[in-house]
């Protein structure tokens, strides 16, 4: 079979990077008045939908399809089945963008099945292994598909569910980061510190982590249904404190000289900042909800995705897990992008300039990722 379809990370990580670059190019072109978007979604909702279900969705699929064999000891999805799943993802992107021509029903039929099929596959693999440890991941993937359905429901039936669908998606991805990040960040940090003579080790997942995840999950669930309730704001402030303490337990400063490990901690720090900004914006009744949303999505989600994609792509193609200069530049660019995007929300006078800086550094980050990592996806393990 083609090497490209021997592992889920190969097509889906490359697809995630390409769609991230294209979506931003289209969006900034639309804002400049030079590109037209042919989606039945409003341009802003097309942007939100495709960043979450196109870009983030592809990254999640690539990660889970790659991690599943390690979690279950079962063979990886590959060949025709993997190609079909990837083709379904591509079909969704095309039909959503051209839904003015395909119609709302066809766009939904093309776009919605992916995450339900992915959830069923993961459930089958976990069930065959006979352990319940990873079942929460299955639930989150099914809910991810449900959130996508909520966004389509407004197009089809005219019911106002887009906002709920988008907020639910943000909540689910944040939960995935807390669950999976809470496993891999302290684990990778511990391994590196042991190899390099570290004294104090990170604290692995325990009851404190569970309390933190549940508190944050409850905070975001209330935000889905009551986005401006002041009680939700105070819960977010508490969630930020709990997650900041959680991050501090992973020996953040001890790994500062290892960029490919440090970036995982930086991504989680952006999640903490986003939670804190949610609290501040809601408690003080500031009309700047895009500030915490971009801190979490561009900062937390995207930085974590690039951190995981670079690390996993190196490891699963048999290369040393070391950040090259190009990879470090990817990390720098995405952090400049989030800082510029937040600055655009804060400084209205310079909003356009900061938006262009954010878009340019975003596209540069993913362009550099494609330049370095795309060849790895088409070649066998070293």
* Per-residue pLDDT tens over the stretch 127-153: 887 777 888 999 999 999 999 999 999
Residue 297 or 73, more confident: 297
Task: State the pLDDT at residue 196.
Answer: 87
**Tens of pLDDT along 197-237?**
878 899 999 999 999 999 999 999 999 999 999 999 999 99
Is 91 buried (19+), middle (13-18) or exposed (0-12) by CB count in 10 A?
Answer: middle
Per DSSP, the three-state class of 261 is helix
The span from the CA of 206 to the CA of 201, in Å, is 14
Distance CA 355, CA 338 (A): 10
- The pLDDT > 90 percentage for the chain reads 87
Whether the predicted pLDDT of 252 surpasses 90: no
- How high is the pLDDT of residue 200? 87
Which tens digits make up the pLDDT trace of 255-270?
Answer: 888 999 999 999 999 9
The pLDDT assigned to 134 comes to 84
pLDDT at residue 28, as a whole number: 94
* Residue 199 confidence (pLDDT): 81
Torsion, Cα 314 316 320 325, to 10 degrees, reads 0
For 153-172, what is the mean pLDDT? 88
Closest CA to 106 of 114, 117, 98: 98
Could you tell me if 220 and 243 are in contact, meaning their C-beta atoms sit under 8 angstroms apart? no
What is the domain partition of the chain in residue ranges? 1-160, 196-382
Per-residue confidence (pLDDT) for residue 128, from 0 to 100? 87
Q: Quick one: pLDDT at residue 198?
A: 79
Residue 382, pLDDT above cutoff 80: no
The per-residue pLDDT for range 303-341, each reduced to its tens digit, is 999 999 999 999 999 999 999 999 999 999 999 999 999
Q: Is 199 helix (H, G, I), strand (E, B) or coil?
A: coil
Tell me the helix, strand and coil percentages in the chain, rounded to 5.
80, 0, 20
Report the C-alpha gap between 139 and 12 in whole angstroms.
21
Q: Could you report the per-residue pLDDT of 101-116, keeping only the tens digit for each?
A: 999 999 999 999 999 9
Is residue 154 scored above 90 in pLDDT? Answer: no
The confidence score (pLDDT) of residue 280 equals 97
pLDDT of residue 338: 97
What pLDDT score was predicted for residue 160?
A: 82
pTM: 0.95
């Amino acid at each position: 079979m083609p090497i490209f379809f021997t592992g889920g990370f190969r097509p889906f990580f490359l697809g995630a990077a390409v769609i991230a670059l294209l979506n931003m190019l289209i969006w900034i072109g639309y804002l400049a008045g030079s590109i037209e978007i042919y989606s039945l979604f409003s341009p802003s909702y097309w942007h939100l939908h495709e960043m979450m279900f196109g870009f983030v969705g592809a990254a999640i699929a690539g990660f889970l399809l790659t991690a599943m064999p390690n979690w279950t000891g079962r063979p990886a999805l590959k060949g025709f089945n993997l190609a079909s799943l990837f083709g379904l993802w591509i079909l969704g992107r095309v039909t959503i963008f051209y839904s003015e021509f395909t119609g709302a029903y066809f766009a939904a039929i093309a776009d919605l099945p992916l995450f339900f099929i992915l959830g069923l596959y993961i459930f089958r693999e976990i069930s065959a292994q006979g352990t319940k440890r990873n079942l929460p991941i299955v639930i989150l993937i099914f809910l991810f598909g449900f959130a996508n359905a909520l966004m389509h429901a407004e197009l089809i039936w005219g019911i106002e569910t887009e906002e709920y669908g988008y907020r639910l998606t943000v909540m689910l991805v944040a939960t995935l980061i807390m669950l999976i990040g809470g496993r891999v960040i302290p684990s990778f940090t511990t391994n590196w510190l042991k190899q390099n003579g570290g004294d104090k080790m990170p604290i692995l997942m325990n009851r404190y982590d569970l309390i933190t995840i549940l508190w944050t999950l409850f905070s975001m669930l209330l935000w889905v249904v009551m986005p401006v309730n002041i009680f939700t704001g105070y819960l977010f402030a508490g969630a930020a404190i709990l997650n900041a303490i959680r991050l501090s337990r992973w020996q953040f400063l001890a790994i500062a000289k290892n960029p490919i490990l440090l970036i995982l901690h930086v991504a989680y720090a952006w999640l903490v900042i986003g939670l804190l900004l949610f609290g501040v914006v809601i408690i003080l009744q500031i009309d700047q909800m895009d500030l915490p949303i971009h801190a979490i999505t561009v900062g937390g989600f995207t930085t974590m995705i690039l951190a995981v994609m670079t690390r996993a792509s190196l490891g699963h193609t048999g290369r040393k897990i070391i950040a090259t200069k190009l990879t470090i530049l990817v990390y720098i660019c995405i952090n400049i992008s989030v800082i510029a995007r937040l600055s655009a929300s804060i400084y209205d006078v310079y909003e356009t300039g900061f938006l262009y800086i954010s878009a340019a550094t975003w596209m540069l980050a993913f362009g550099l990722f494609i330049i370095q990592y795309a060849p790895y996806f088409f070649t066998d393990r070293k």
